Amino acid sequence: MDSNRLEEVLMRNVESLSLSSEQERRMLPRGTGRYPSVKTLKEIMGLIKALIFPAFFDSRYTNRHLRAFSIGVNLEKLFSLLSTEIRRALRFDCNIENPDCPECFKNISNSAEELTLKFIERISEIKRLLYTDAEAMYDNDPAAGSYAEVIMSYPVMQAMIHYRTAHVLKELGVPVLPRVISELAHSATGIDIHPGATIGEYFAIDHGTGVVIGETSIIGNHVTIYQGVTLGAKNFTLDDDGRPVDVPRHPILEDNVTVYSNASILGRITIGRNSIIGGNVWLTHSVPADSKILQR
Amino acid sequence: MDSNRLEEVLMRNVESLSLSSEQERRMLPRGTGRYPSVKTLKEIMGLIKALIFPAFFDSRYTNRHLRAFSIGVNLEKLFSLLSTEIRRALRFDCNIENPDCPECFKNISNSAEELTLKFIERISEIKRLLYTDAEAMYDNDPAAGSYAEVIMSYPVMQAMIHYRTAHVLKELGVPVLPRVISELAHSATGIDIHPGATIGEYFAIDHGTGVVIGETSIIGNHVTIYQGVTLGAKNFTLDDDGRPVDVPRHPILEDNVTVYSNASILGRITIGRNSIIGGNVWLTHSVPADSKILQR
Amino acid sequence: MDSNRLEEVLMRNVESLSLSSEQERRMLPRGTGRYPSVKTLKEIMGLIKALIFPAFFDSRYTNRHLRAFSIGVNLEKLFSLLSTEIRRALRFDCNIENPDCPECFKNISNSAEELTLKFIERISEIKRLLYTDAEAMYDNDPAAGSYAEVIMSYPVMQAMIHYRTAHVLKELGVPVLPRVISELAHSATGIDIHPGATIGEYFAIDHGTGVVIGETSIIGNHVTIYQGVTLGAKNFTLDDDGRPVDVPRHPILEDNVTVYSNASILGRITIGRNSIIGGNVWLTHSVPADSKILQR
Amino acid sequence: MDSNRLEEVLMRNVESLSLSSEQERRMLPRGTGRYPSVKTLKEIMGLIKALIFPAFFDSRYTNRHLRAFSIGVNLEKLFSLLSTEIRRALRFDCNIENPDCPECFKNISNSAEELTLKFIERISEIKRLLYTDAEAMYDNDPAAGSYAEVIMSYPVMQAMIHYRTAHVLKELGVPVLPRVISELAHSATGIDIHPGATIGEYFAIDHGTGVVIGETSIIGNHVTIYQGVTLGAKNFTLDDDGRPVDVPRHPILEDNVTVYSNASILGRITIGRNSIIGGNVWLTHSVPADSKILQR
Amino acid sequence: MDSNRLEEVLMRNVESLSLSSEQERRMLPRGTGRYPSVKTLKEIMGLIKALIFPAFFDSRYTNRHLRAFSIGVNLEKLFSLLSTEIRRALRFDCNIENPDCPECFKNISNSAEELTLKFIERISEIKRLLYTDAEAMYDNDPAAGSYAEVIMSYPVMQAMIHYRTAHVLKELGVPVLPRVISELAHSATGIDIHPGATIGEYFAIDHGTGVVIGETSIIGNHVTIYQGVTLGAKNFTLDDDGRPVDVPRHPILEDNVTVYSNASILGRITIGRNSIIGGNVWLTHSVPADSKILQR
Amino acid sequence: MDSNRLEEVLMRNVESLSLSSEQERRMLPRGTGRYPSVKTLKEIMGLIKALIFPAFFDSRYTNRHLRAFSIGVNLEKLFSLLSTEIRRALRFDCNIENPDCPECFKNISNSAEELTLKFIERISEIKRLLYTDAEAMYDNDPAAGSYAEVIMSYPVMQAMIHYRTAHVLKELGVPVLPRVISELAHSATGIDIHPGATIGEYFAIDHGTGVVIGETSIIGNHVTIYQGVTLGAKNFTLDDDGRPVDVPRHPILEDNVTVYSNASILGRITIGRNSIIGGNVWLTHSVPADSKILQR
């Protein structure tokens, strides 16, 4: 091929791709500095998995006494990586006049390190909850051969590890990262749990593909749901700009509720404790405790 | 284990696996040379993401002036990788008597480089459309905290980057690659958009898992669809060999249509502008503009 | 940040994370030694793909005669990796008093190597079946441009390669690994086929996201199903501990059955040969041959 | 092996290795923070080679116009990596009371970036000198087939690239890094040129192994030396602590001097221009211009 | 190129290269199983460097308390890797009739683990000696800017780390590995110290390239030598097969001896304490304490 | 740092580094296309080592029958990589008017493939010679514990593998690559053997650092040399441009010659069979058979 032609086309397109449209500029974060890195967040999730399920995901796993070394190393690494990502997230949309001022940088850094320590203080509780989830998945699935199969391989365990991590980060007020973390699991598993949702212990999802759990959902303890279930909004309240408002708009499932495959439960309604919602049901009103709703 | 036994079993199975069955031979491409590489196509998609959203996906991203260097390097790399893959795809099913003839090789190479330059000329337009999509996703989702969350993490953005790339390659007449690229996104996101579909600007998908958009679908501007929606064929026309024929068989959605979760819209029907199709609806006939179709 | 504070928090959490709760201990396998490695199982699946479809997945692929070298090397590597993983799986839940005794280790090692050779003897049959599946997918999909597109890129081919491998390992009595392998495909494709299911030849799934095929399902030859189809259990028999029992509880689909998108077929029922089940149908009773069941 | 014994030995040795002896503490730098990284310095040298000899060491090398993109990207990367290493080196031995104070950090960072820019301003001159060296090596070696062989493969070119880089960094006052860089080349090539030495243009070393060029050596233009040549100190001046003092103590070689293999030239003596020093000669006194000194 | 010709040549040469000549067979170790891995030995040396000089070579290095985690992890890894390599070395030349017998394997494994623990018990002493060496190198070199430069970058430190490790392994009776480890340093630095040599504390080598220290050399404390020095054998005692016998044949250097560049000291002679041997001296007879030998 | 200043400095230096000086242009090869890759040549040498000493360097090494698979795969890979590098080398300095013409490219490609096959035909002979070298090194070194230590770890074996490979390529007329390959070993081992030298079988070098064997040296069978030995030129014949001419100028060593450490043998002289040249000897005249030359 004529090498002048090649050069001309490449040079011209480099130029046009280097320009930012007005739309592009509007969508870029106001902050400066590097943005959080999806690749590093994946590495962080790998460390969290190794800390919580060392027998399965810590490649250095050996016996009980020596394990503390590996946990120590992993926790230090987690501190280092996560505090960096939180700092980036804090500066992400910071609209201070001169965000390069070292004062601001120092404040943000300290805050990022504080938030990271607060997260670390909560890993033990995340761990406790995830073991109850694993037990619930196992108890609920006649095809499960062992807890190990559940922990090592069920996509839904991935989804729950990401959700419970993202949820704590969101409670701590960390911006951006919680959603990125939960979408990593959404992409990998087809299970979409918003980090804002509240989910109790012993939570089981079977098969899982296509499950959607909306931002303001509240789920009690010992709840079980199946593939394709949507806990969604029925309709949106719009603000003056016509943009939907972020208000409680997803269902509340009380303890011991079961929802079978492909059911849609929409709006800020309450499903009373011990209720069973059948497959393919489309439900937009509250039901009392002990209800059994089947498709007509 | 008896090492003679091991050898015997391995040698015998090497032999049987080295033989091609009649069926296998029939299914292999007629062309020679290496086939397109899925791994390289993933690398190509990484370059395209970095070219279009440098702030989020270009690990070399710095300030505006210096960014052109990185764009230049990425565009050169894209030219090199993509022209190789297109050349492989062009030879893939080439049934010339002697496909090793240098004449043929030269023609295919030149053509591959031409097609690559034509693709490069269209990246700016792909970029413009993807920013409208990101804006639409953000506007449509009360749970979205920032454009950045949408671009960095929503699986549906991955799906749209792959779709819009694959669609342009298909329009340019490149064989094989468009489908492989779109299936990469299908696999990663659970969203299955055929590269042959036509999709306007400001297109939004929410949650997304299970969405299917068939090959001959036509979608206008400002359309929104939810998880589990199928834009499918109702039935197939079979050719004389009993194989389904590739004719227009998927729906047309005009501007501003919204389709809620798990709705199925099947066959070459038209959904008029501004219409709303409710969740779980099964629709096989056209509806006029401004329709509102809910599940009975 | 105060480095004493950092140290104190990290040290304290290392300690608490190093302790195993009673729940955690109960859920750990009784066996000792390393557990099977998900990373190695992915590498094993890569070798199997290269052995079965060398033209598409063997990066060393060249011409017919030389190909045997690469097949030999891949088969040796497969023997080495798979026998290690099977040995780990066999020791996984072994409750012998002193599992470190070399006698036990030797027995398990020999058995692992035997099982691996038995698996290797069956790869040719897995290969034959997968080519019939690829042909079925191609014949069934008007949007398929070539067999190559199907084999290289359709997620459902990934799902079938994993399923057919996992199914043979399960038939050979290998614990743990079959489910982990099939869940790898579930995660990657959104298609959930239990390794215990029985599936005949020329099996096609179109689009695929959200498909669930339960553990005791039996599927004949030339069956086709679409996205979102569930072949599930209707209800569970519970044992005395209230845990669901693993008995035949999923449907039987005879030859030439077609099931359209999002249909749910639940319970140990039989769908007679040549039947067609329409989209979104919810079916819990057997139907005779040549039935055509549509949504009301 | 008894796992209690293993634990006991490991735990005890972890403890003893974690303690710092008085000697170890005395030898550690006073500064805090991370130390310069040998691995990163190797990466930096790779970038410098690519910037100076792009045709041979820039894997992205293409044609003249597009090359600027790659040079831009490499220069940015160099700025980023080198300024980090210089900052670490500046803090390395900083004995300020509280080196964590942000004020100090800011000063050091700014200074590190300034020094890096100053280095970048001098790369063009380093480049010019290295091309004269390559030409000298080629002209001097009847066995050299092309300039390319010299540049790509002669260890002595490696030694000169490292020396000329380290020398400029030393002139700029950067601590620690110059010596580390020159020792990298010493290790890789067996040629030991101290970064403090002054070497003119068109400098040739043939074969090179065992060459030592001391810290205060001064070498003119068009000088040639052979393997095993030492330009060393004759004896040391000791300070009050008995430690040798760093004063001019190595030879001066004027223009056009040639020194044959294994000659030792020791002390602050001057070898006059155009002189020839024969192989194995042991020389500890100055010689006038045009001398020819052979072994007795 | 004619692909039949290519196949023919490759197939024929595969065959001839697969045959072992009588000579090749004679030179192969009698043992079976895998041989020690040079790559793993390099990894082991990296761990040892990190254990001994954590501030410089442990990429996880942070503060004092947390450092123990990293040391623990590194020591565990060292145990695992080194015991494997020692086991391979023990089986390397084992001429038992049936080396696959599990009894033999168990004995060798236990012995390998014991030897590894014994080595680990001695790392603290290796560490102490290496800090004295680093101090000696620093004190001896007016061009050394800091201890850090010496430890991080002097090739001779590499040589000493490898030598002191290899020497301990040799004392423990480990076959093969000591020599491989010392040759790794020989290759990397041009300094050839046989692991059998005995070297006291505060040992300094300056520049180093070309130094040879033979197998039976004995070197006291506070000895300094320069580049190109050979401590070699004068002549060999041959056995009945004409092969040189491994008897004491290299020099003894008592405390505080200095040997300047390129001196050769050959044979089982003794250099008395405080002696100085000048550059290029060729010495084959013992000299008393406080001697000063210069080249005539 | 002021980001405008940073941009300005980087932009200006990108520009100046992108310009080629007249000197730089003169030194670039006239050919176009990519240059041979040092990294690939290292990979090629790794393959050759694995083909010749599979027990030590082929990570896939198993038993005798299965080994042929790995040899086949390695030989194919060698063909592919080496023919590419030879093609690049052939075009390297090709001064045809339009080197992009496909005709020229085809000729060069065919020739590159032919040369590669010719090289492959000679690997068995290279292998035979290298086993004699390994035996000679072992027989000559009382400190060698086994053939395995020699083959796995002696730097001189590396030097000989590279030399014997480079020598055959040079005999085949391949430009550039032979010297690059031999300099790789020079750099790694401090042993500098020019690929043009002729060396018989059973060749031993002990210790090796600093050995130089010039381009036109001729060495018989069963020759042994020690560290620091130079087989060099005495003086150069200059051509009309004052550049040294490439004529026979290095020594001839007949069978069974031994040369001890640091001896220099210079000029086209002949050392008669069975002669012994002592350490540090400086020899510039021929000596008859059975001579014994010692330093005065």
Per-residue pLDDT, averaged over F218-244, amounts to 88
Global confidence as pTM: 0.92
Query: For chain C, which chains pass the contact test of at least 3 CB pairs under 8 Å?
Result: A, B, E, F
Q: What residues of D are in the A interface, CB distance below 8 Å?
A: 3, 7, 10-11, 14, 63, 65-66, 69, 102, 106
Q: Residue D285: its pLDDT value, please?
A: 95
Higher pLDDT, A20 or C46: C46
Residue spans of beta strands (DSSP E) within chain E: 192-193, 198-199, 204-206, 212-213, 218-219, 224-226, 230-232, 252-253, 258-259, 264-266, 270-271, 276-277, 282-283, 292-293
CB A67 within 8 A of CB A50: no
Residues of chain A whose pLDDT is less than 50?
Answer: none
Instruction: Identify which of F175, F247, F264 has the shortest CB distance to residue D145.
Output: F175
Higher pLDDT, B213 or D15: B213
Q: How far is CA D296 from the centre of its chain?
A: 35
> Would you state the structure tokens that stand for residue D15, as one six-digit string?
């403890």
- Cβ contact F153–E196 (<8 Å): no
CB A203 within 8 A of CB A169: no
- Cβ contact E10–F75 (<8 Å): yes
Query: For chain E, which chains pass the contact test of at least 3 CB pairs under 8 Å?
Result: A, C, D, F
Q: Which residues of A touch E60 (CB under 8 A)?
A: 73, 76-77
Among residues D186, D236, D187, D175, the alpha carbon closest in space to that of D213 is found at D186
CB atoms within 10 A of CB D70: 24
Residue in C with minimal Cα distance to B208: C209
pLDDT band per the 50, 70, 90 thresholds, residue D1:
low
Q: Residue B64: its pLDDT value, please?
A: 65
Q: How far is the alpha carbon of D296 from chain E, nearest alpha carbon, in Å?
A: 12
Instruction: Identify which of B92, B228, B266 has the shortest CB distance to residue C228.
Output: B228
The predicted-structure confidence for D122-165, as pLDDT tens digits, reads as follows: 999 999 999 999 999 999 888 888 898 999 999 999 999 999 99
Q: How far is the alpha carbon of C72 from chain E, nearest alpha carbon, in Å?
A: 14
Q: What is the H or E stretch that residue F119 is in?
A: helix F102-121
Per-residue pLDDT, averaged over E266-284, amounts to 95
The predicted-structure confidence for B170-199, as pLDDT tens digits, reads as follows: 999 999 999 999 999 999 999 999 999 999
Q: How far is the alpha carbon of E66 from chain D, nearest alpha carbon, in Å?
A: 10
What's the number of CA atoms in the CB half-sphere (13 Å) around residue D243? Answer: 12
Per-residue pLDDT, averaged over D16-28, amounts to 84
Which one of A183, A249, A284 would you mutate to disrupt binding with B, by most B Cβ within 10 Å of its Cβ?
A183
The predicted-structure confidence for E28-75, as pLDDT tens digits, reads as follows: 876 666 788 999 999 999 999 999 998 889 888 666 667 889 999 999
pLDDT band per the 50, 70, 90 thresholds, residue D237:
confident
- Measure the CA–CA gap between F256 and F292, rounded to whole angstroms: 12
Which one of C161, C227, C296 would you mutate to disrupt binding with B, by most B Cβ within 10 Å of its Cβ?
C227
Residue in B with minimal Cα distance to D59: B77
Please determine, for residue C59, whether its predicted confidence score (pLDDT) is greater than 90: no
Question: F102-121 and E3-18 helices cross at what angle (nearest 10)?
Answer: 20
- Cβ contact D249–E142 (<8 Å): yes
DSSP A231: E
In the chain, the amino acid numbered C49 is K
Q: Which residues of F touch B106 (CB under 8 A)?
A: 102
Question: F102-121 and F64-92 helices cross at what angle (nearest 10)?
Answer: 140
Q: How far is the alpha carbon of B106 from chain A, nearest alpha carbon, in Å?
A: 10
Q: Provide the 3-class DSSP secondary structure of residue D67.
A: helix
Among residues C45, C56, C50, the alpha carbon closest in space to that of C71 is found at C50
Q: How many residue pairs bridge chain D and chain E with CB atoms within 8 Å of each other? A: 151
CB atoms within 10 A of CB B163: 28
> Would you state the structure tokens that stand for residue C122, as one six-digit string?
């069956």
- Measure the CA–CA gap between F75 and F124, rounded to whole angstroms: 12
Q: How far is the alpha carbon of B145 from chain A, nearest alpha carbon, in Å?
A: 7
Which one of C73, C75, C77, C117 would you mutate to disrupt binding with F, by most F Cβ within 10 Å of its Cβ?
C73
Q: Residue F23: its pLDDT value, please?
A: 83
Query: For chain D, which chains pass the contact test of at least 3 CB pairs under 8 Å?
Result: A, B, E, F
CB atoms within 10 A of CB B278: 18
Q: How far is the alpha carbon of C218 from chain B, nearest alpha carbon, in Å?
A: 25
Task: Give, in order, the Cα–Cα distances in Å from D213 to each of D219, D225, D230, D280.
Answer: 10, 10, 6, 16
Q: What residues of C are in the F interface, CB distance below 8 Å?
A: 60, 62, 66, 68-73, 76-77
Place of tokens 């069941």: C293
Q: Residue F246: its pLDDT value, please?
A: 80
Q: How far is the alpha carbon of B180 from chain D, nearest alpha carbon, in Å?
A: 27
Q: Which residues of A touch E70 (CB under 8 A)?
A: 69, 72-73, 76
Place of tokens 């000549």: E21
Please determine, for residue B98, whether its predicted confidence score (pLDDT) is greater than 60: no
CB F177 within 8 A of CB F92: no
Higher pLDDT, F242 or D225: D225
The predicted-structure confidence for F141-180, as pLDDT tens digits, reads as follows: 888 888 989 999 999 999 999 999 999 999 999 999 999 9
> Alpha helices of E28-99 — where are they, by DSSP H?
38-52, 54-57, 64-92
- Measure the CA–CA gap between A50 and A57, rounded to whole angstroms: 5
Per-residue pLDDT, averaged over F35-55, amounts to 94
CB A129 within 8 A of CB A116: no
- Cβ contact D29–E148 (<8 Å): yes
Residue spans of beta strands (DSSP E) within chain C: 192-193, 198-199, 204-206, 212-213, 218-219, 224-226, 230-232, 252-253, 258-259, 264-266, 270-271, 276-277, 282-283, 292-293
Please determine, for residue B109, whether its predicted confidence score (pLDDT) is greater than 90: no
Higher pLDDT, D274 or E246: D274
The predicted-structure confidence for A100-137, as pLDDT tens digits, reads as follows: 555 666 677 779 999 999 999 999 999 999 999 999 99
Per-residue pLDDT, averaged over B44-68, amounts to 86
Q: Residue F109: its pLDDT value, please?
A: 75
Supply φ then ψ for residue E270, to 5 degrees: -120, 130
pLDDT band per the 50, 70, 90 thresholds, residue F34:
confident
Per-residue pLDDT, averaged over C180-188, amounts to 95
Q: Residue A50: its pLDDT value, please?
A: 95
Q: How many residue pairs bridge chain A and chain D with CB atoms within 8 Å of each other? A: 17
Q: Which residues of A touch E72 (CB under 8 A)?
A: 66, 68-70, 72-73
Beta-bridged to residue B271, according to DSSP, are B253, B287
Instruction: Identify which of A14, A65, A102 has the shortest CB distance to residue D7.
Output: A65
Query: For chain A, which chains pass the contact test of at least 3 CB pairs under 8 Å?
Result: B, C, D, E
DSSP F292: E
Instruction: Identify which of D11, D65, D102 has the shortest CB distance to residue A65.
Output: D11
Per-residue pLDDT, averaged over E198-214, amounts to 95
With residues binned 3-state (H G I as helix, E B as strand, rest as coil), the percentages for chain A, rounded to 5, are 50, 10, 40
Which one of F56, F207, F230, F260 would you mutate to disrupt binding with E, by most E Cβ within 10 Å of its Cβ?
F207
Average pLDDT value for chain F? 89
Q: Residue D252: its pLDDT value, please?
A: 98
Q: Residue B193: its pLDDT value, please?
A: 97
Q: How many residue pairs bridge chain C and chain E with CB atoms within 8 Å of each other? A: 17
Q: How far is the alpha carbon of C96 from chain B, nearest alpha carbon, in Å?
A: 23
Q: How far is the alpha carbon of F21 from chain E, nearest alpha carbon, in Å?
A: 35
Q: Residue A95: its pLDDT value, please?
A: 52
- Cβ contact C113–B228 (<8 Å): no
Burial class (CB in 10 A: 0-12, 13-18, 19+), C125: exposed
CB C251 within 8 A of CB C269: yes
Q: What is the total residue count of chain C?
A: 296
Residue in D with minimal Cα distance to B77: D60
Please determine, for residue B287, whether its predicted confidence score (pLDDT) is greater than 90: yes
Among residues E193, E227, E191, E190, the alpha carbon closest in space to that of E207 is found at E227
- Cβ contact C71–B262 (<8 Å): no
pLDDT band per the 50, 70, 90 thresholds, residue B143:
confident
Q: Which residues of B touch C124 (CB under 8 A)?
A: 13, 16-17
- Cβ contact F124–E175 (<8 Å): no
Higher pLDDT, F19 or E46: E46
Please determine, for residue F56, whether its predicted confidence score (pLDDT) is greater than 80: yes
Q: Provide the 3-class DSSP secondary structure of residue B279.
A: coil
Residues of chain C with pLDDT > 90: what percent?
66
Per-residue pLDDT, averaged over E196-217, amounts to 96
Q: How far is the alpha carbon of B64 from chain D, nearest alpha carbon, in Å?
A: 13
Q: Residue A194: its pLDDT value, please?
A: 97
- Measure the CA–CA gap between D176 and C186, rounded to whole angstroms: 54
Per-residue pLDDT, averaged over F67-89, amounts to 93
Q: Residue B95: its pLDDT value, please?
A: 52
Please determine, for residue C129, whether its predicted confidence score (pLDDT) is greater than 80: yes
- Cβ contact E244–F147 (<8 Å): no
